């Protein structure tokens, strides 16, 4: 039973990768039919399709943290901060400092993640 399921999963992954490659090829052909907006951002819409060009921006977090005090109030508003769980530290304080663990977990919601399935033999 597991052998057949694994073979079916392998086939599905192959078909998914093939379909994704074809989708990306077609998207590239469509995009080449239009001129990218000046500045790299914009939208083209017609009866059949909408193309949205955008720019991905990333932040050098350690550099921003190091220079945070020198930034003006308006410059600081250009950044949003999202708390993230440091799982290694959280697990460590669970055993080492139960009070700190209890304080931290008040703000953490835990829910089961989707199991990861990896095909080990090709």
43-54 tens-digit pLDDT: 999 889 999 999
Domain extents for the chain? Answer: 2-57
Report, as an integer, the average pLDDT of 14-25.
Answer: 97
Secondary structure element (H or E) that encloses residue 116, with its range? none
Residue 83 φ then ψ, to 5°: -70, 145
Full-model pTM:
0.69
Cβ count near 51 (within 10 Å): 16
CA distance 72 to 39: 26
71-122 tens-digit pLDDT: 999 999 999 988 999 999 999 999 999 999 999 999 999 999 999 888 888 7
CA distance 75 to 68: 9
Cβ-count burial of 100 within 10 angstroms (0-12 exposed, 13-18 middle, 19+ buried)? middle
Least Cα distance to 104 among 121, 84, 120, 119 occurs for: 84
């Amino acid at each position: 039973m597991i052998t057949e399921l694994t073979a079916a999963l392998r086939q599905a992954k192959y078909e998914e990768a093939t379909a994704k490659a074809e989708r990306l090829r077609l998207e590239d052909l469509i995009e080449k039919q239009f001129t990218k907006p000046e500045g790299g951002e914009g939208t083209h819409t017609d009866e059949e399709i909408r193309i949205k060009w955008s720019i991905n921006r990333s932040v050098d977090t350690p550099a921003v943290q190091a220079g945070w005090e020198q930034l003006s109030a308006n410059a600081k508003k250009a950044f949003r901060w999202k708390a993230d769980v440091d799982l290694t530290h959280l697990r460590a304080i669970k055993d080492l400092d139960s009070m700190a663990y209890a304080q931290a977990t008040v703000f953490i919601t835990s829910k089961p993640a989707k199991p990861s399935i990896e095909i080990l033999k090709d």
